[in-house]
Structure 1
Amino acid sequence: MPTGIVNVTLPRFGDHYEWNKVVTCVHNVLSQQRYLEHYGEVIIRNLNSNACTCKITFVKSRYWGSDTNKNEVQGIVLDQTGSVIHRFGGLWHEGIFCDTFPTPQCIWKPNPQPNDHYLYYGFSNFALELNELTPGLKPLLPPTDSRLRPDQRMLEDGRVDDCDTFKEEVEDKQRERRKQLAKKGQEHKPRFFKKAMDSSGREVWLTNGTYWKFRENPGFANTNNLELW
């Protein structure tokens, strides 16, 4: 179950939006017909303005229902008095429509799914490209970048058995590092992030501003790095 709060700032407009995450469930993990289901309520707020608030409900599907009942979304936009000013709904894999305009309008529509997406966890083209590693980018990355993780690449290439074996080795190394730190009474300190409190008193992780500086000078190839795999 994903946790935490998502924050998006739009400096040009002076807006700072935040919203919570819903439950994400993976169905049919052991078969080829895997699919994701999201359910729960999302509240979207603008921390710099109380002009409106958005509530979105991801409806949990019924196991005995048809595919047309999956991925249903219902939402409302409220003004600062709590009155509903817009209603919208639809299926998040097809499109979302607002029916409070003079003429109902499609306000969001996903891009078409790539070929054989069922074989790749239902990932969109965007999700598939997140792990892409170009020749020009590879020398610039720290060796701890997840795109360099061998078992992740093995899984993407279909080498499932090799992936499982290597994954166990990586996790054994992680446990051993934690054990050694515990013996010394130490804790792992993130290199590029710091813990802080947000305006609501919640604990959050923020960038410490060093990643791009290290990348430019002296470069990650010239720094001491953890051997993760």
Structure 2
Amino acid sequence: MNSEEEFFDAQTGLESDDSGEVSFKDALVFDSNEGTDGSSEQENGVWERRKALPGETISRSNFSVWSILKKCVGMELSKIAMPVEFNEPLSFLQRISEYMEHTHLIHRACSLSDAVDRMQVVAAFAVSAVASQWERTRKPFNPLLGETYELIREDEGYRLISEQVSHHPPVSAFHAESLKQEFEFHGSICPKLKFWGKSVEAEPQGTMTLELLKHKEAYTWTNPMCCVHNIILGKLWIEQYGTVEIVNHSTGDKCILNFKPCGMFGKDLHKVEGFIQDESKKKRRVIYGKWTESMYSIDPKLYETKKAEKKTGSDPQKEVNIHNPSETFPTAEVEEDDELPEGQDTVTVIPGSALLWRITPRPSHSAQMYNFTSFAVTLNELEPGMERLLPPTDCRLRPDIRAMEHGDMDLASAEKERLEEKQRAARREQSEGEEEWSTRWFRMVTNPFTGAEDWQYTGGYFDRKYTDCPNIY
């Protein structure tokens, strides 16, 4: 692969994001005057996506987390009704749609002719899918059974539909497709949340499947583990860890990514390292970076050479600040496992590497908006005329999320309790009757690539036929 043609070189790419190959789009950042709900409208009447939430983050300083969690050590938290103070104003279905923030990487993969080149961009997409979780220390609202969410982004060339297909265990299924029939991205997630005294561990069980239709390729993988530290005392912080194996079922190529745990001294905080191997298990590319910042690709021989030089001290590499390449920092160290390491926004860039992906800078006021990205800020917005097009099951219409978004915690708590009781009553009614509840937009099938059970989109949602959809709110 010619890195100067296929990707811009890391040595020069750090100074500029002008390359159209894998750079971010800034379409979600606007300069127009905001409306009262954070949305904006230009003088010519063209509506734009909002860049702020209607209300600021609600503080939890007067709320005793320990009073709730002390009885939950080692338990599965999805079965416990948690206070609304634990939440951020999004449904888990909306949180899933954040996988699509970096859809330009899928489009890039579709355009490449070489299978290994496609794999490394797919690997970057898999990493980018969890990047929005950085500093997002509150949980999304648990979807109600039958809840749905749609996301149509014509500017990014895709549409998505998701549905809560099971309540116990909680399972959320999603299906995204290219508007030009270039790709399909689908899967299901059954989040397992456990409290371990000082931390909450989230295991996102479920398979992601990306199909590049032009190349007749299918990739599958599972997401890494996620842990939120210092639940009771101290500054909350997040780490992702575990092995992610991406398989190209058409070529036999694999990408094995290791999301490294922080470790004793914090030197591996946020780091991701791995490699691509072909069907004969020959290493073709080494992938490295941080899931909170950027990912790079390099030839394995060059990587091993630089690694050997570093061990012998002949190549003293420094931590490179991706925002200011001339500035360097030492590796972060901490004394205790659960303390947040004082890491910098840095990746040690090896000369000769190609930049695959770089995270989008968050809004300057993100901390006042639950640490949302610009993309996340738009997800619960009701576009003009949208209410008459949405089914009554869409989570944009949930009154508890809407109340929290506007900063009314009393109303959000009351509505959350009302909806949970309404859902319990519906289950009792179904258990007493003869008619069983059934999913509307997805059905259980066997994944043709993994052989495991999976949820498949049945089609028809975007025909806008919702006359018999129940009003679950």
Is the contact made by 1:15 and 1:48 (CA closer than 8 Å) also made in structure 2? yes
**CA deviation after TM superposition for structure 1 residue 190, in Å:** 0.9
For residue 202 of structure 1, what is the amino acid of its counterpart?
A: A
Is the contact made by 1:16 and 1:46 (CA closer than 8 Å) also made in structure 2? yes
Aligned equivalent of 2:259: 58
What is the correspondence of 1:1-229 to structure 2 with a 5 Å cutoff? 1-27=203-229, 34-50=236-252, 52-62=253-263, 65-66=265-266, 69-100=268-299, 103-199=352-448, 200-213=450-463, 215=464, 219-220=465-466, 223-229=467-473
CA distance in 2, matches of 1:188, 1:206: 17
Instruction: Give the secondary-structure state (helix, strand or coil) at the position aligned to 1:2.
Output: strand
1:48-105 per-residue CA deviation (whole Å, 9 max, x = no partner) reads 221x21011111213x645x64211111111111122211212121211223287122
For residue 188 of structure 1, what is the amino acid of its counterpart?
A: W
CA distance in 2, matches of 1:187, 1:27: 40
CA distance in 1, matches of 2:458, 2:299: 44
CA distance in 1, matches of 2:400, 2:469: 19
TM-score (norm 1): 0.86
**CA deviation after TM superposition for structure 1 residue 185, in Å:** 4.3
What runs of 5+ residues in structure 1 fail to find an aligned partner?
none
CA distance in 1, matches of 2:258, 2:437: 38
CA distance in 2, matches of 1:22, 1:7: 15
Which one is further off, 119-128 or 89-98?
A: 119-128
**CA deviation after TM superposition for structure 1 residue 7, in Å:** 0.9
CA, structure 1 residues 3+176, in 2 after alignment: closer, same or farther (shift >3 Å)?
A: same
CA, structure 1 residues 5+32, in 2 after alignment: closer, same or farther (shift >3 Å)?
A: same
Is the contact made by 2:206 and 2:222 (CA closer than 8 Å) also made in structure 1? yes
For residue 414 of structure 2, what is the amino acid of its counterpart?
A: T
CA distance in 2, matches of 1:31, 1:165: 28
User: Percent sequence identity over matched residues?
Assistant: 31
CA distance in 2, matches of 1:139, 1:155: 23
State the superposition RMSD in angstroms: 2.3
**CA deviation after TM superposition for structure 1 residue 22, in Å:** 1.3
Relative contact order, CA 8 A, sep 6+: which one is greater? Answer: 2
Instruction: Give the secondary-structure state (helix, strand or coil) at the position aligned to 1:175.
Output: helix
CA, structure 1 residues 132+25, in 2 after alignment: closer, same or farther (shift >3 Å)?
A: farther
For residue 59 of structure 1, what is the amino acid of its counterpart?
A: K
Aligned residues: 220
CA distance in 2, matches of 1:28, 1:153: 28
CA, structure 1 residues 39+185, in 2 after alignment: closer, same or farther (shift >3 Å)?
A: farther
